[in-house]
Chains A and B, each alone.
Chain A
Amino acid sequence: MGSLSQLINSVLVQLFKHVPWLASCWARRHRFVEGQEIPWAPLRKPLGETRIGVVTTAGVHLKSQPPFNMDDPEGDPTFRVVPSDAEKAQLTITHKYYDHSAADQDVNVVLPLDRLWELEAEGVIGGIAPLVYSFMGHIDGPHLRTLVEQTAPAVARRLMRDGAQAVFLTPA
């Protein structure tokens, strides 16, 4: 049973990768938590003076941290906290719902920390918040409520506490 669903999943992962319009079809049919009013916070300072926080839903975490739960078909609403200056060799990806072979070779494909540090060194951005908040994006069923009501607001408050003045997010 488990191996059959894993097989179906890996076929779907490859299909979504190679046939992009399938993904849009899925998106049109799938129900999402639809937004109503759009929240808005303006940038208060020029980018060169702004400290950037980083959030990803690509399932990146430190090898020393527990992996995301891949056994629950409705995903894992928890997050991992990764130092923004972590060595790339310490990072890994746990996420079976997308093909992360490119990101395994170069994590900048999903989490561009090297590029961000280059922009910081050049003064294009004012700084990088010390901690990256990392989720795995495949979250469904009851976990969606946990994400919306608990984990996402908790991460928002933590980013504020970390002194992030703008936040950049990447998907899987």
Chain B
Amino acid sequence: MIQRAIEAEGIPTIGITLLKEVTRKVKPSRALYLRYPFGHPMGEAFQVHQQRTILLDALKALETVTEPGTILEPGYRWRRHVFGPGP
């Protein structure tokens, strides 16, 4: 809801979501869905590579997504996916 208001003001937005069902209903312009528990939109505490990768995935979506309502799913598995230092 807040995201839609910001986009309507003319600012492009990207939001992390942990609830795909809600995001499908609310319909923000761009979203990145992670199947992570509540309280962990950027992953685990002190896991710098993980937090950085998720943040970069989200920010890059601002450049790459062209279809309003896109929900990206990188598919990282909670506590299983191994995150490298990345770019």
Contact = CB atoms under 8 A, between A and B. Distances in A.
Contacts of A164: 11
Contacts of A30: 22
B71 to A, nearest CB: 11
A121 interface: no
Interface string A152-163: 110111011000
Interface residues of B, number: 51
Interface residues of A, number: 67
B55 interface: yes
A17 B51 CA distance: 19
B2 A169 contact: yes
Given A99-B39, A106-B46, A155-B6, A112 B55 contact: yes
Interface stretch (A36-44, A66-74, A82-90): A36-44
A139 to B, nearest CB: 9
B26 to A, nearest CB: 5
A91 interface: no
B38 A33 contact: no
A55 interface: yes
Nearest to A107: B45
A148 interface: yes
